[in-house]
């Protein structure tokens, strides 16, 4: 209850959810002695794959006996997920005490919720000067609160695509503008660029970072991977090749994120990370709401022996890679869809092919979500769409046959509500 009340107060410190600027974050950090200048960080920017890349990198570092602090957003089930130190989330009391301290020092000054959380993360991270901080950049990076670091160990650029377009002027809602916002202010350290959705995107990233003095490690030019038969894949970079077991995350698209994490880990020249650490680490990756199979609970009971998955993807690029995974399965697929109002709903769902049933639902407790009935009306290219108010009604309405799978997708906020409900 104490933590909830503090969170509610912090959410009222600024009239806007997002107000792109670095000044407020810098000012509050200055009052705290600039903790961001006293920690070791790896920055992760991009549209898709940031969370999975961070989790894979953390798993590898953990195997090498290095401790991580992790800052990601949004959280799925509890706000504590955003505050990972020594590989563990803060308890409610620890987080409440931290946020109370930052609230007092802020003194009621106008600041967005994300900004004050970012400052809080940096302040607490100062307690662990030897830890590696894995920092997920938010919206567009250039004016994101996390972009106040003066130095870092590396910058990772995951797959970039169209998302959050409502925060850009209509004439600037292009992937080129998003690439510029995400990559034009990367620090001079090392830049690892993941596999992109097209050569045009890769080339434009290369153009934007051309004058950055960092060592650049890009997919296909400096590292690559190949999936082989017998459940293993080969990773190769300037340090040689490694034969690796299939990781514990389903979907070939996850190999892209995991390979990016491996490429990053092997560039950390001041840290001793061996092939064995990598081999073991990638089989122990923790991942929430990223093609996560629900194996028990009240919703699992509704599908009985069939598989139930939840995935928080919410933009066209996420839909594309998710559909590629679904196409690899020889079974009937049933999708339950809930989305936020500001997403491109048709561009998202258009990627899914050979879907047996599609059911839209409401996302509970989210005022910025589109109502399921309205989502059903907006979707154009599916002739037979059902609407059910709740996920329980949606699952129960599907005539599931043996070996069918049910996938709940469209929003990380929906994923959180589903996991809490289950």
pTM: 0.94
Task: Work out the average pLDDT over 394-403.
Answer: 95
d(CA 329, CA 359): 20
- Cβ proximity of 77 and 187 under 8 Å: no
Task: Work out the average pLDDT over 148-171.
Answer: 86
247 by Cβ neighbours in 10 Å (0-12 / 13-18 / 19+) ranks as buried
- Cβ proximity of 134 and 149 under 8 Å: no
- Residue 41's closest CA among 132, 105, 125? 132
Question: Which tokens go with 301?
Answer: 């009971």
Domains in the chain: ranges and CATH: 2-281 (3.40.1190.10), 292-421 (3.90.190.20)
**What pLDDT is recorded for position 383?**
79
d(CA 288, CA 336): 18
202 by Cβ neighbours in 10 Å (0-12 / 13-18 / 19+) ranks as buried
Q: Is the pLDDT of residue 165 over 70?
A: no
The model's pLDDT over 166-218, given as tens digits with 9 standing for 90+, comes to 767 777 788 899 999 999 999 999 999 999 999 999 999 999 999 999 999 99
3-state secondary structure of 105: helix
Question: 162-170 long-range CB contacts below 8 Å, 24 or more apart?
Answer: 162/47, 162/315, 162/316, 162/317, 162/344, 162/347, 163/47, 163/314, 163/315, 163/317, 164/139, 164/140, 164/342, 165/344, 166/342, 167/18, 167/20, 167/139, 167/140
**What pLDDT is recorded for position 20?**
86
In the block, which residue shows the tokens 């020092």?
Answer: 105
Q: Is the pLDDT of residue 129 over 70?
A: yes
Estimate to the nearest angstrom the gap between the alpha carbon of 188 and the chain centroid.
24
3-state secondary structure of 249: coil
In the block, which residue shows the tokens 């991977």?
Answer: 225
pLDDT band, residue 251 (cuts 50/70/90): confident
The model's pLDDT over 71-98, given as tens digits with 9 standing for 90+, comes to 999 999 999 999 999 999 999 999 999 9
Higher pLDDT, 370 or 228: 370
Rounded alpha-carbon distances, angstroms, from residue 172 to 99, 177, 205, 245: 36, 6, 17, 43
Task: Work out the average pLDDT over 117-136.
Answer: 98
| Candidate ranges 94-108, 228-242, 319-333; pick with highest mean pLDDT | 94-108
The model's pLDDT over 263-295, given as tens digits with 9 standing for 90+, comes to 999 999 999 999 999 999 999 999 999 999 999
Task: Work out the average pLDDT over 218-242.
Answer: 94
**What pLDDT is recorded for position 167?**
67
């Amino acid at each position: 209850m104490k933590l909830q009340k503090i969170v509610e107060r912090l959410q009222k410190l600024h009239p806007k959810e997002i107000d792109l600027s670095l000044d407020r974050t810098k000012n509050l950090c200055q009052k705290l002695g600039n903790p961001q200048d006293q920690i070791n960080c790896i920055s992760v920017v991009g549209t898709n794959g940031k969370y999975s890349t961070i989790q894979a990198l953390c798993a590898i570092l953990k195997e090498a006996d290095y401790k991580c602090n992790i800052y990601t957003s949004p959280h799925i089930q509890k706000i504590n997920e955003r505050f990972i130190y020594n590989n563990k989330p803060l308890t409610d009391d620890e987080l409440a005490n931290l946020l109370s301290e930052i609230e007092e020092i802020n003194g009621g000054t106008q600041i967005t919720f994300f900004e004050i959380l970012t400052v809080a993360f940096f302040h607490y991270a100062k307690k662990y000067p030897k830890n590696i901080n894995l920092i997920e950049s938010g919206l567009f990076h250039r004016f994101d609160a996390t972009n106040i670091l003066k130095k870092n160990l590396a910058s990772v650029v995951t797959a970039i695509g169209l998302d959050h377009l409502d925060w850009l002027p209509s004439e600037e809602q292009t992937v080129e503008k998003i690439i510029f916002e995400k990559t034009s202010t990367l620090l001079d350290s090392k830049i690892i660029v993941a596999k992109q959705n097209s050569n045009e995107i890769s080339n434009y990233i290369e153009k934007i970072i051309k004058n950055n003095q960092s060592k650049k490690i890009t997919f296909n030019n400096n590292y690559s991977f190949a999936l082989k038969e017998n459940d293993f894949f080969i990773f190769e970079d300037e340090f040689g090749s490694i034969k690796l077991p299939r990781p514990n995350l389903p979907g070939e698209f996850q190999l892209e994120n995991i390979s990016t994490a491996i490429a990053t880990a092997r560039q950390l020249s001041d840290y001793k990370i061996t092939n064995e650490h990598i081999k073991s680490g990638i089989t122990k990756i923790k991942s929430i709401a990223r093609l996560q199979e629900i194996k028990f609970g009240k919703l699992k009971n509704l599908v009985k022996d069939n598989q139930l998955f939840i995935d928080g993807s919410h933009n066209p690029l996420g839909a594309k890679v998710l559909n590629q995974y679904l196409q690899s399965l020889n079974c009937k697929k049933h999708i339950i869809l809930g989305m936020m109002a500001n997403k491109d709903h048709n561009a998202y769902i258009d990627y899914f092919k050979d879907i047996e049933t599609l059911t839209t639902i409401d996302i509970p407790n989210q005022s910025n979500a589109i109502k399921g009935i309205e989502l059903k009306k907006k979707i154009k290219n599916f002739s037979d769409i059902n609407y059910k108010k709740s996920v329980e009604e949606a699952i129960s309405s599907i005539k599931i046959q043996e070996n069918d799978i049910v996938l709940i997708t469209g929003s990380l906020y929906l994923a959180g509500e589903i996991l809490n409900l289950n």
